[in-house]
Homo-oligomer: A and B are copies of this chain.
Amino acid sequence: MIRRIGQNTLGFEETPAIAGYASVAGKLESQGPLGNDFDKIIYDSYNGLQSFEQAESRLQTEAVAQAIKKSGVSAEEIDFIFAGDLLNQCIGSSYGLIDFNISYLGQYGACSTMAQGLIMASVFVESGAAKNAACVTSSHFCSAERQYRFPLEYGSVRTPTAQWTVTGAGSCILNNSKKGPCVTRATVGKIVDLGIKDANNMGAAMAPAAALTLKNYFTDTATSPRDYDLILTGDLGEVGSKSLYDLLLIDDIDIRNRHNDCGLMIFNRQKQDVHAGGSGCGCAASVLCSKILKDMESGIYNNILFMATGALMSPTACAQGSSIPSVAHLVNIKSR
């Protein structure tokens, strides 16, 4: 039974279980602090294929295959897969998932897609629409760079506020098995646009959406940051994380001693030249589906908020002078 909590939050009484999860990451990511936590490392940017886009599709294939294997259910038993990515027309998902032959519902939440997919899978499992549901998302530095910014061959200089698109993917399999970490509550975000127009400063554009979703969640559930072991944002990076602190402190909400950000965790910013941190759908997905869920299984964390943020602009909209609308979706995950 799905319960509405306050204005914006859903409560899952049956607490859909994350029965399996897996992550795949690239070479640079493997050299970062989480290098030993990923299920698979791709050392070749082409992933053995003909193009960066095909390589990204294969990341999703591999993440889903690993998650299915670890979940103990078979692909035939999975009723729906919720998937999306940053590539135009979400081709990372459509080409990457075809061989699984699972009913497909494409999602677009930009870098918030992992949280959105978890929410969708939870709603479908909790409501009885699915026995098993999967979600997956990915990003790839090379495919994102040439689609959103410049051809890699230009070797263009990046601004200090820019983030580095993670090459990686993460996938979860949800069901009612009562094993593994579980999804207990979720808040779906609203579109927020405070007028940021700098496409090299996504953290600043996305922080207001994160602040709104988090405030709505705390209000709806009558909880506060101290009730959680970890408040994990998707990929606000250094600039966006500080913006989020500032925005929340206006309302006397202080998350600083509970907060971490997937974009800050995945790279060693002192040694790796990634500027303000990691980004991309695959950032939040690969961090959640590696270290974070492992730490929940081993008891390091028992009750976390996972909130992935997405910037909903396009290069066309930016070229036309539009500002950057954003959204943030939040999932409360607990250990059993």
> B107 contacts A320, CB within 8 Å?
no
> A50 contacts B320, CB within 8 Å?
yes
Given A320-B54, A325-B98, A1-B128 contact (CB < 8 Å) = yes
Q: Give A116's nearest chain B residue, CB to CB.
A: B105
Interface residues of A, count at CB 8 A = 60
> A95 contacts B129, CB within 8 Å?
no
Measured CA separation A274–B53 after assembly (Å): 33
For residue A51, which residues in chain B have a CB less than 8 angstroms away from its CB? 320
For residue A10, which residues in chain B have a CB less than 8 angstroms away from its CB? 129
A289 to chain B minimum Cβ distance, whole angstroms, is 21
Instruction: Let me know if A120 is at the binding interface, CB within 8 A.
Output: yes
For residue A106, which residues in chain B have a CB less than 8 angstroms away from its CB? 84, 107-109, 116, 312, 327
A256 to chain B minimum Cβ distance, whole angstroms, is 27
Instruction: Let me know if A296 is at the binding interface, CB within 8 A.
Output: no
0 or 1 for each of A182-209: is its CB under 8 Å from B? (1 = yes): 0000001111110000000000000000
0 or 1 for each of A87-101: is its CB under 8 Å from B? (1 = yes): 111110011011001
> A120 contacts B103, CB within 8 Å?
no
**Which residue in B80, B94, B105, B109 is a CB contact (below 8 Å) of A325?**
B94
Given A79-B4, A123-B129, A314-B89, A84-B108 contact (CB < 8 Å) = yes
> A98 contacts B191, CB within 8 Å?
yes
Given A4-B128, A53-B316, A314-B91, A190-B325 contact (CB < 8 Å) = no
Instruction: Let me know if A134 is at the binding interface, CB within 8 A.
Output: no
Instruction: Let me know if A219 is at the binding interface, CB within 8 A.
Output: no
> A53 contacts B320, CB within 8 Å?
yes
For residue A176, which residues in chain B have a CB less than 8 angstroms away from its CB? none
Measured CA separation A2–B98 after assembly (Å): 26
Instruction: Let me know if A301 is at the binding interface, CB within 8 A.
Output: no
A107 to chain B minimum Cβ distance, whole angstroms, is 7
> A102 contacts B190, CB within 8 Å?
yes
Q: Give A124's nearest chain B residue, CB to CB.
A: B123
For residue A160, which residues in chain B have a CB less than 8 angstroms away from its CB? none
A250 to chain B minimum Cβ distance, whole angstroms, is 20
> B320 contacts A104, CB within 8 Å?
no
Measured CA separation A191–B97 after assembly (Å): 8
> B128 contacts A88, CB within 8 Å?
no
> A110 contacts B89, CB within 8 Å?
yes
Residues of chain A in range 296-336 having any CB-CB distance to chain B below 8 Å: 312-317, 320, 322, 325, 327
Measured CA separation A308–B135 after assembly (Å): 23
> B102 contacts A90, CB within 8 Å?
no
For residue A327, which residues in chain B have a CB less than 8 angstroms away from its CB? 94, 104, 106
For residue A103, which residues in chain B have a CB less than 8 angstroms away from its CB? 8, 188-190
For residue A325, which residues in chain B have a CB less than 8 angstroms away from its CB? 94-95, 98
> A108 contacts B89, CB within 8 Å?
yes
Instruction: Let me know if A271 is at the binding interface, CB within 8 A.
Output: no
Q: A54-B320, A90-B108, A94-B191 are in contact. List 8 more A-B contacts (CB 8 A).
A: A3-B128, A10-B129, A84-B106, A87-B316, A88-B314, A94-B325, A105-B119, A127-B127
